[in-house]
Amino acid sequence: MAAEGGLTTSGYIIHHLTNLTYGHLPEGFTRYNGEVVGEGGTWTIAHGTEASTMGFWAINLDTMLFSVGLGLFFIWLFKKAADKAVAGVPGALQNFVESIVEFVDENVKSSFHARNQFVAPLALTIFVWVFLMNLMDLIPVDWVPYLAQQMGVPYLKIVPSTDVNATMGMSLSVFALILYYSISVKGIGEFVGELTLQPLGKWLIPFNFFLEFVNLLAKPVSLGLRLFGNMYAGEMIFILIALLPFWAQWVLSVPWAIFHILIITLQAFIFMVLTIVYLSMAHESH
Amino acid sequence: MNINATIIGQAIAFFFFAWFCMKYVWPPVTTALRERQKKIAEGLDAAERASRDLELAKEKATQALREGKEQAAGIIDQANKRASQIVDEAKEQAITEGERLKVAAQAEIDQEVNRAKEALRSQVAALAIAGAEKILSKSVDSKAQAELVDKLAAEL
């Protein structure tokens, strides 16, 4: 595949790691094909490194499409099972859904002790959604982008969790929930107190604050970047394996894919458990 | 690797899915799970009760069997006792009856003997008289001699 379309090896890798970004290019910008953007700029799909010029107000269409699509698939499937849920003998789908729900419920119950109706469904959503997004990694790296290219879509990254925007979007949402529950459960006074009065008492408030603030910020950053890093690295290895001659790829790609099944599940699980733990900390006074 | 508005889109989608899950997915599934748990617990309870009942019934049955056996043994004992009693009684009766028969037979025999003796005596007397008559031919007062002979006969 590497040689197809006259792509170089690094070009191939970069192509596979570039999102389909839609955004605004400013006036006077020289595009990838030498065109100069006319007056008032233009809204278009980025090619090459144009995405970095588009700034914050651009959107990765592929990430949104696949993450929302997978999310809809998740709620559709689980809603279907929930609608038909009976206390009697469960069917295959209900069994499957119930086992996941129970698994998540047990995890929530073991580490989250406050009363909150939102945490368990949130954990379920994270676990299944992240798992599904990670699962896209197991689709051979060339299939979907190649098909898309044939249909005129220049870039397509089908694993949303290899996009730092997706993982940080989720971890920042979790961060927002941490802040919301910290303040609404403990009150603003106690929350600020926790940030400033420990671990070294009231005489070292700036030092305490620095320590606790870094601690607080490290939560969403590590949460988001851990998932992103793992999935990005995994995807990168798949791409590197895809550079081998086609008859030799399976020697590496099959073991890596099998190992990756573990990683994608584990990362989904870690994201869920850390969310539960962080929210639990947000509910409890220290 | 550009941070852009996707982050916001993702956050919105995230909250939507989590909210949807909380509203429409989580409650029915957990309700079904809880209900099934209750049902299973009830079923297990019922099974335990039933097995306890079975145990009780078994105990009752063995007790009834034991009682029956005891009763039967009692009845057999009684019957045996009664049987030996009857046999004993029969034996006793037979013995007394035998005794009685023996006595009666003895009496009859004695009677017969006496009667025979009597007959014999009279016949002997007659014979003696006849003999004496023949010996003495005439002249003998048969009356006085008859008395004598009778006396003789009585001494026999």
Q: What is the ipTM of this complex?
A: 0.90
CA torsion through residues A269, A70, A12, A224, sign = negative
Which member of A226, A253, A280, A285 is catalytic?
A: A226
Whole-number percent of chain B with pLDDT over 70: 96
* Cβ neighbours of residue A215 closer than 8 Å, sequence gap 6 or more: none
Asked whether B17 and A121 are in contact (CB, 8 A), the reply is: no
Residue span of the structural domain in which A209 resides = 61-283
Q: Which residues of A touch B20 (CB under 8 A)?
A: 75, 79
Q: Indicate yes or no: CB of B10 within 8 angstroms of CB of A86.
A: no
Is A34 inside any structural domain? no
HEC assignment per residue over A214-276: HHHHHHHHHHHHHHHHHHHHHHHHHHHHHCCCCCCHHHHHHHHHHHHHHHHHHHHHHHHHHHH
pLDDT computed for residue B42 by the predictor: 95
CA angle A228, A231, A232 (to 5 degrees): 75
pLDDT computed for residue A154 by the predictor: 87
Whether A226 is a known active-site residue: answer: yes
Burial pattern A266-279, b for ≥16 Cβ within 10 A else e, equals ebbbbbbbbbbebb
As given in the structure block, the two tokens for residue A88 are: 């009697």
* Side-chain-side CA neighbours of residue A250 (13 Å): 1
Q: Which residues of A touch B3 (CB under 8 A)?
A: 56, 164-165, 168
Q: What is the pLDDT of residues B90-142, one digit of tens each?
A: 999 999 999 999 999 999 999 999 999 999 888 888 888 888 878 776 655 66
Asked whether A148 and A8 are in contact (CB, 8 A), the reply is: no
Contact of A129 with chain B, judged by CB distance below 8 Å, is answered with yes
Is A78 inside any structural domain? yes
Q: Indicate yes or no: CB of A122 within 8 angstroms of CB of B18.
A: yes
Q: Which residues of B touch A23 (CB under 8 A)?
A: 4
How many domains does chain A contain in total? 1
Interhelix angle A164-196/B6-20, nearest 10 degrees: 80
B18: pLDDT strictly greater than 60: yes
Average pLDDT over residues B82-86: 95
Residue given tokens 């990254």 in the structure block: A157
Contact of A88 with chain B, judged by CB distance below 8 Å, is answered with yes
pLDDT computed for residue B140 by the predictor: 59
Is the bond preceding A199 in cis, omega lying within 30 degrees of 0?
Answer: yes
Average pLDDT over residues B46-54: 96
For residues A235, A237, A242 and A247, what is the CA-based torsion angle, rounded to 10 degrees?
Answer: -130
Is A243 inside any structural domain? yes
Whether A230 is a known active-site residue: answer: yes
DSSP state of A97: H
- pLDDT tens, position by position, for chain A (286 residues)? 434 445 688 888 888 888 899 998 888 888 888 888 888 888 888 888 888 888 899 999 999 999 999 999 999 999 999 998 888 888 899 999 999 999 999 999 999 998 889 999 999 999 999 999 999 999 888 888 888 888 888 888 899 999 999 999 999 999 999 999 999 998 898 888 888 887 777 788 888 899 999 999 999 999 999 999 999 999 999 999 988 888 888 899 899 999 999 999 999 999 999 999 999 999 987 6
Average pLDDT over residues B21-46: 93
* Side-chain-side CA neighbours of residue A71 (13 Å): 26
Residue type, A111: S
Whole-number percent of chain B with pLDDT over 90: 72
